[in-house]
Amino acid sequence: MAIWNLGSINIDRVYRLDSLPLPGETLTSRSYGWGLGGKGANQSVAAAGAGAVTHHLGAMGSGDDWVVERLAARGVDTAHVARMADQATGHAIIMVDDKAENAIVIHPGANRAIDEDHLARSLTGIGAGDTLLLQNETSGQIAAAQAANAAGARVIYSAAPFDLQAVRQVLPHVTILAMNEGEAAQLFAAMPGDLPVQGLLITRGSKGAEYRDLTTGRTHEQASFKVTPVDTTGAGDTFAGYFAAGLDGGLSIPDALRRASAAAALQVTRPGAGDAIPTAAEVDAFLAAQS
C-alpha cells in the first residue's frame, strides 16, 4: 500500500522585521530564512517520515533543484513532480514583526498549473488499498479524486485553505474529510446535515483532535500532548500526513490519532514547517517518554 499526494510545493521565505511595512514604506529586515513549505510537501514529508511509501504528485519550476532533493532526502518519491519552464515554483513571502504579527503573500505558480493528462498518467499506479491525499493549493483535485475512486483507493481531503466551492466539487469523491476547528465551523454553517463521506477528522490545536465515523456514528477523541510551542506552522499538515500513514500501515483510528498527535506536538517545538517534521523514530521516542 502507498500514499499518493497531489499537493503544493512551496518555498517559504521568511523576513523578520521590527514592524510590518506601511503602504509605500521600505524597511530593512533583521534576518532572512528560507525552507521547504506548502501544505502538500509538508504532508508528503510527514507521511514518508511516518514510514509510508509516499509518492508526491505536483509541479514546480525548472530551477530550485534543492526542493526535490530535500523531499527525496526525507524519503518522498518525486518521480511524478513535473518541472515547468514557464512557471515559477510556488513560494510564500512571510514578514514577521517583533510582536509575532505577520503578513504573507503566496504565489501559487506551478501548483495551479498542473496538467491533468500528466496527472492521469502519474496515477496509473494507484490501486485498491492505497490512499490519495488532497489539499486546496493545487489544480486537478477532482480529476485525481475520481481516478483514485475508480482504482478503489481511499481519498483523504484537507479542506484548506478553506474554499466552499472547491469543497462542494470534490466532496462526492472523498472518503475522509480533514479540517481544523475553524474550517469545520465554516463548512457546517454552509452545508448543514449529513456529509457524503465516511469520516471527519477535525483538529483543534491545543484541545486535541477527533475522528467522527459517519458510518457507525462513533466519535474517537485524542487529547493533545503538552509541549511548549515554538512555531505552529505546518502542525495540521504533520497531523494529516501521520494520520494517513497510520491508516495505510493498518493502525486503528485511535492509534493513528495518537501517533499523529505526538508527531504534531513534536513538530511545533521546532521552527519551520516541512523541515521541522519529525521522523518515526523521534515520534516513537516521544511516545515512549509519555508512558
Indicate which residues carry an active-site annotation: 237
> Do β-strands 3-6 and 131-134 pair in parallel, antiparallel, or remain unpaired?
parallel
Do 88 and 110 form a contact (C-beta atoms < 8 A)? yes
Residue 68: half-sphere exposure toward Cβ, Cα within 13 Å: 19
Do 221 and 208 form a contact (C-beta atoms < 8 A)? yes
Residue 18 to residue 20: CA distance in whole angstroms: 7
Residue 171 to residue 167: CA distance in whole angstroms: 6
> Do β-strands 102-107 and 209-213 pair in parallel, antiparallel, or remain unpaired?
unpaired
Place of cell 499538515: 237
Between CA 211 and CA 167, with CA 248 as vertex, the angle to 5 degrees is 50
Do 80 and 56 form a contact (C-beta atoms < 8 A)? yes
> Do β-strands 10-16 and 31-37 pair in parallel, antiparallel, or remain unpaired?
antiparallel
Do 50 and 280 form a contact (C-beta atoms < 8 A)? yes
Residue 66 is which amino acid?
Answer: W
Judge residue 52's burial from the number of C-beta atoms within 10 Å of its C-beta, 0-12 exposed, 13-18 middle, 19 or more buried.
buried
**What 3-state class would DSSP assign to 202?**
strand
Paired with 55 in beta bridges are: 4, 77
Cβ contacts of 251 within 8 Å, gap of 6 or more: 259
